Chains A and B, each alone.
Chain A
Amino acid sequence: DSGVTQTPKHLITATGQRVTLRCSPRSGDLSVYWYQQSLDQGLQFLIQYYNGEERAKGNILERFSAQQFPDLHSELNLSSLELGDSALYFCASSETWSSYEQYFGPGTRLTVT
Chain B
Amino acid sequence: ELKVEQNPLFLSMQEGKNYTIYCNYSTTSDRLYWYRQDPGKSLESLFVLLSNGAVKQEGRLMASLDTKARLSTLHITAAVHDLSATYFCAVDNGNSMYSGGGADGLTFGKGTHLIIQP
Interface hits, A52-73 → B, CB 8 Å: 54-58
A99 contacts B103, C-beta separation under 8 Å: yes
Contact residue among B98, B100, B106 (Cβ-Cβ distance under 8 Å from A102): B106
Size class of B's contact patch?
20 to 34
When A56-B104, A106-B42 are in contact, do A101 and B48 touch as well, CB less than 8 Å? Answer: yes
Contact check, B88 vs A102: say whether CB atoms are below 8 A apart: no
Asked if B88 and A31 sit within 8 Å, CB to CB, the answer is no
Scan residues 19-66 of chain A and give those whose CB is less than 8 A from a CB of chain B.
31, 33, 35, 42-48, 50, 54-58
From known contacts A100-B50, A100-B92, A100-B103, infer whether A55 and B98 are also in contact, taking CB-CB under 8 Å.
yes
Q: How far is the CA of A48 from the CA of B42 in the complex (A)?
A: 18
How far apart sit A50 and B92, CA to CA, in the bound complex (Å)?
16
Stretch of B13-21, B56-64, B65-73, B107-115 contacting A (4+ beta carbons < 8 Å): B107-115
A94 and B42 form a contact (CB under 8 A): no
Interface flags, B39-53, vs A, CB<8A=1, else 0 = 001111100101000
Q: Give every chain A residue within 8 A of B95 (Cβ-Cβ).
A: 56-58
CB of A94 within 8 A of CB of B43, answer no
User: Complex Cα distance A27/B33, Å?
Assistant: 22
Q: For residue B35, which residues in chain A have a CB less than 8 angstroms away from its CB?
A: 104
Q: How far is the CA of A99 from the CA of B105 in the complex (A)?
A: 13
Q: Nearest B residue to A4 by beta-carbon distance?
A: B42
Residue on B nearest A46 in the bound complex, by CB? B105
Q: How far is the CA of A106 from the CA of B104 in the complex (A)?
A: 20
CB within 8 Å of A: which residues of B? Answer: 31, 33, 35, 41-45, 48, 50, 88, 90, 92-93, 95-98, 100-108, 110-111
- 21 pairs across A/B with beta carbons < 8 Å? A42-B108, A43-B111, A48-B96, A48-B105, A50-B98, A55-B97, A56-B93, A56-B95, A58-B95, A96-B102, A97-B102, A99-B102, A99-B103, A100-B101, A100-B102, A100-B103, A101-B103, A102-B103, A103-B45, A105-B42, A106-B42
Q: Tell me the A residues contacting B by CB distance below 8 Å.
A: 2, 31, 33, 35, 42-48, 50, 54-58, 90, 92, 94, 96-107
